[in-house]
Structures are given as C-alpha cells and as structure tokens.
Amino acid sequence: MQRILQPGEIETLDHTSFPRILLPQASSLFAERAARLRQLANGNPIADYLLFVAQIMDAQHQAVASTTLAEPDAALMARAQEHSMPLLPALENIDPAWHGVLDAMLDTLQGSEQGQGLPPPLQPLIQELRAMGSAERDDIAQKLLQKEVAARHVGMAPFIMAALQVTFTLRAAGIAVRDIPYTEPASICPICASEPVASVTRIGGKAAGHRYLHCGTCACEWQMVRVKCSHCESTKGIHYQGVDGLGEAVLAETCSECGSYRKIVNQEKDHMVDPLADDLATLMLDLLMSETQFQRASPNPLLFVAVAQEQDGDLDHTLIDPCV
C-alpha cells in the first residue's frame, strides 16, 4: 500500500530544500539588536542616536517577557489562507496589549540607571506619552504604520513603533510556518503585510546562501531570490552600490526599472549583521543615495522624517534626530 505524502512531509525528505519563512526569536531578538547597535556605534557619526535606540531595544527585550497577547482570530487567518493574503495585516490587527508594552518600556527607560541618561528633550515627550489616552495613541500608531508622521509626533514615534514591534514580533513568533500562506505581491510581509526594512543573505543551516526580506514591523523573514528587486520584483537593471572603505556587508540594491533601492546586508561578509540595526547604522549610505536618481523603497521604522512645507509649495523632507 502506498501513502500520499503531504507537502510538509515532502519537504522533510528533500535535503536540498530551504526554509521559505524564518520566524523571529522574540526572546532574544531585541537584546541581540541592542548589542549590535552598541557595536556599530563605535566611531559612527550618529553614535548618539544608535545608543539611544539600543536603550529602547533593551526596554523592548524586558517587555517581551511580561507581555501576553490575545489569540489571533482563526476566521481571519482561514480567510487569508484561502485567498493567499497576508495572515494578519498590521493595520487591522493592532493588539491592545501594545499600550501596556509602551508603559512598561517607559518605566524601564526612566527607572534604569541607563535610562537616566536619556536626552533631556525627551523627558517632556515621555510624560506626554504617559498622559495620552488610548484613542489618541491608537490614532498615532495607525498613522505610523501607514508611514505618516506629524512633526509634533516625531520625537515620540520611535517609542510607539518600538512598542508595536514587540506585540507584532510576539505574534509572528507564535505562528506556525505551515499556516503562513504564499502571498502576492511577494514584496510585502506574508504575516503583517508591512514592507521589508532591508534584505539579508543568511549563513548557517538550510538557509545558508539564501536571501530573505526582513519585515521591520514583525521581524518575519521570507525568502526571495537574489538579483531581484525587492520592491517591484524585476530581474532587470539590478545593481549594487556601497560606501568606499566600508566593505560589502551592507550595500544598496538599486533597480533601474522602478527607480528604488533597498539595502541588503550579508552575513557572509559579517556574520553579526542585523537587517534593522545595520540599516540604521549606515545612514551615510542613504545620504549618498539621496544624490542619485534612486528613492528609498521603504523607511526604517525607528528613524523618521518630518515633512515641512516650503514657501514655493514643494515638500522638504528632513531627517529628525529626537536626541537633539
């Protein structure tokens, strides 16, 4: 008698297969990112900002252990699987637990010895966040997830996004890979429908040598072949640009078809790279790319720009460092 193998069983027999999805390790992700940022801060022109974000990530790490999420809606997940849609789109599935995460993070940042070193301009922002009602917080969170940020919210935006990252990462970590559908377009996260912050070439195990897109919201990674635009999925006109003297661990992958770029970090060149942390630390590459015809495909969720109206009506985008 012959037995028909299911897809998951077939993959276990195929020793040449590689994982389609890499789920985040929520218990260690933020601590590892904080350590990487502190390493990258040494000699970096934006060291103060990197160390500030590392403190936020320390608070994220502590919040993970004390956060419990509601079970995801099984009906929504089943519909997504049926129609090959992202499983739990972020905009529609913000867990109310994120408010408790934010409060816990603020307690950690203000109560720890390291937290006493937070820049003085941030203290009023933290007090404002503490006093803000849930409805107003949710409104800001929705806008940030849509990449909209008002100038008055720029300083508090990293704290809000960091709290959201904790809840979305915890949710992604608890999902079984077999439940995550194949989705279109392949350029958005199959779990939360967010755009990738960067891509990463992995080493080790069956993922070795394969390129994955890294979600800046839930930290899920999904495989995409190399030399393919992670924004428009074109295989034409792909080139790589870097900064002289800084090696090839972080490059800008440009696409002449859509005129966009997104960074790619390579563990083969530096096994310590982290897509989100190394993206933050290579702002110089973004500044150099701003002098070309290529536009960044998607922002880093912990680095924001304020949009100011110029007298001639054109929009001027200015990077804002809340530590200043």
Give kind and range of the element (H or E) at residue 62. Answer: helix 47-65
Instruction: Give the model's pLDDT for residue 157.
Output: 93
Q: Can you say whether residue 147 is alpha, beta or left, with left for phi > 0 and alpha for psi between -120 and 50 degrees?
A: left
The rounded distance, in Å, linking the Cα atoms of 264 and 201 is 7
3-state secondary structure of 313: coil
Summarize pLDDT for 20-37 with one digit per residue, the tens. Answer: 999 999 999 999 999 999
pLDDT at 25: 97
What global pTM score does this model have?
A: 0.88
| Each residue's pLDDT expressed in tens, for the chain with a length of 324 residues | 444 544 444 444 444 589 999 999 999 999 999 999 999 999 999 999 999 999 999 999 999 999 999 999 999 999 999 999 999 999 999 999 999 999 999 999 987 544 455 777 788 888 999 999 999 999 999 999 999 888 888 889 999 999 999 999 999 999 999 999 999 899 999 999 999 999 999 999 999 999 999 999 999 999 999 999 999 999 999 999 999 888 899 999 999 999 999 999 999 999 999 999 999 999 999 999 999 999 999 999 999 754 333 333 333 333 434 443
Of 189, 186, 195, 206, which Cα lies nearest the Cα of 145?
A: 195
Cα-Cα-Cα-Cα dihedral of 221, 224, 230, 231, to 10°? -90
> Residue 125's pLDDT is what?
87
Burial class for 155, CB neighbours closer than 10 Å (0-12, 13-18, 19+): buried
Instruction: Tell me the two tokens of residue 318.
Output: 């200015």
DSSP 92: G
pLDDT at 116: 55
pLDDT in the model for residue 259: 98
Alpha helices in 238-299 (DSSP H): 275-281, 283-289
DSSP string, 1-41: ---PPPHHHHHHH-TT---SEE---HHHHHHHHHHHHHHHH
Structure tokens at 126: 């933290």
Q: Is the peptide bond before 185 cis (omega within 30 degrees of 0)?
A: yes
Other Cβ atoms within 10 Å of 66 Cβ, number:
9
Side chain identity at residue 130, one-letter code: R
Measure the CA–CA gap between 63 and 60, rounded to whole angstroms: 5
pLDDT digits (tens, 9 = 90+) for 24-78: 999 999 999 999 999 999 999 999 999 999 999 999 999 999 999 999 999 999 9
Residue 125 DSSP code: H
